[in-house]
Structure 1
């Protein structure tokens, strides 16, 4: 938890990989009156909804979502897909992967390969950037 101030993160960027002492105020829990938490908006943040679904389904679903997300985020950062396509492609992979209740290491290694191929092929079909 920190103060809502960008001075320290900016200092980290300018002094990386070294660190420089600063005399800026630190956050004190005693100064914070309260924290509030709200349920996330699952329409506005569809990847959170997908994570909940994968956890509820269990088995290989969380791993499938993770593999898909790794590949969709990489594609987004490379400019191959739009930000909103991340959730769409992740959901496709979650639905279409070969689900199992108890994935072993071999299954997970195959899932990683499948996930990359699956996302790559869907990107080629649906490029909109």
Structure 2
């Protein structure tokens, strides 16, 4: 999951440069989702949710609470930031409205901070 997380953050950066803001936000969110998965797995914590066609996954809508309230990996402010990029991902993938450049840049910034914290074990999510 770590390599996929890093590739998704790189893709998000590239997509912004090329004006694909919806896709950039989606990749930024998935970078954090995959980094969180990797982080939890390193603590021997595995997803509880079984997918209909096999395998397991972390429920997207519950991930901020899981990381904050259930395992204490992040604080309430970081949980809010994760909820912001998750809601933007929903907007980017399913809503008629487009993501603005500023939203994409902010999402990439938030995701980059999560990557630094979850994968590189440095800093904090700002």
Question: Which has the bigger relative contact order, CA under 8 A and spacing at least 6?
Answer: 2
Considering fraction of residues, name the structure with more helix. 2
TM-score, normalised to structure 1, is: 0.31
TM-score, normalised to structure 2, is: 0.32
Structure 1 or 2, whichever has the larger Rg, is 1
